Amino acid sequence: MKKERNKVKKTSRRNFIRKSLMGGVGVVAGASLVEVFIDQTIAKSSENVKVLTTSGEIMEVDRAHLQIPRVSREESKKGIPGRKFVMVIDLAKCKNARKCVEACQKGHFLPKGQEFMKVYLLQDSEQTAPYWFPKPCFHCDNPLCVSVCPVGATYKRTDGIVLIDNERCIGCKFCMTGCPYS
């Protein structure tokens, strides 16, 4: 009877070690298979994004192949040499979907309730149809928001784009009060 107990204990220890090793190998193999599956899923589900080239052309690029270069803060404030950007909004196509407002909030790290950009319903006269009018930053030639910012967080690039450095901004909202377009 004693020999049978020892035999059972030795067999169960060996089985335990064997099963543990096999389980460890199975977990490693399974994890690598899951990783390969996730990589393939990401590669298949990647989407095309529109990017603006330095020559001013819009291209569609697969997001998986997009490499964002690291640029110094001073270099990013320069803008694109030889270019001057303006913003054009086709009011006939605006249906108050508020995607522009959401993009503005996301770009400025604003909470849902706080909006820099407003969309108004306007009507020129009683004889004309009403239309939606988004009111974003107009990127003025001589922006007052830049001159009133006490910490220099609001600046204008050489290509005409007015930006806010979120890391320098102290939230005083002088730029909003200084803007002639509210």
pLDDT digits (tens, 9 = 90+) for 20-71: 777 766 666 666 666 666 655 555 556 888 887 777 788 888 877 777 777 7
pLDDT in tens, 82-101: 888 888 888 888 888 888 88
Would you state the pLDDT for residue 170?
92
Dig out the tokens for 47 from the structure: 């989407």
> Are 104 and 159 contained in the same domain?
yes
> Is residue 78 in some structural domain?
no
Dig out the tokens for 158 from the structure: 């050489």
Would you state the pLDDT for residue 15?
76
Would you state the pLDDT for residue 11?
60
Distance CA 61, CA 146 (A): 34
DSSP H helical ranges for 86-168: 99-107, 144-148
- Sign of the alpha-carbon dihedral angle for 166, 148, 156, 139: positive
Which residues have C-beta within 8 Å of that of residue 143, sequence separation ≥ 6?
154, 156, 162, 179
| Nearest alpha-carbon partner for 74 in 165, 159, 172, 151 | 165
> Is residue 62 in some structural domain?
no
Distance CA 176, CA 148 (A): 10
> Are 102 and 173 contained in the same domain?
yes
Dig out the tokens for 29 from the structure: 């193999």
DSSP H helical ranges for the chain: 2-45, 73-78, 99-107, 144-148, 174-178
> Are 93 and 154 contained in the same domain?
yes
> Is residue 70 in some structural domain?
no
| Nearest alpha-carbon partner for 151 in 137, 130, 165 | 165
> Is residue 66 in some structural domain?
no
Q: How many domains does the chain have?
A: 2
> Is residue 35 in some structural domain?
yes
Sole residue written with tokens 């004309």 = 128
Distance CA 172, CA 176 (A): 9
Range of the domain at 138: 85-178
pLDDT in tens, 126-179: 999 999 988 888 888 899 999 999 999 999 998 888 988 888 889 898 988 898
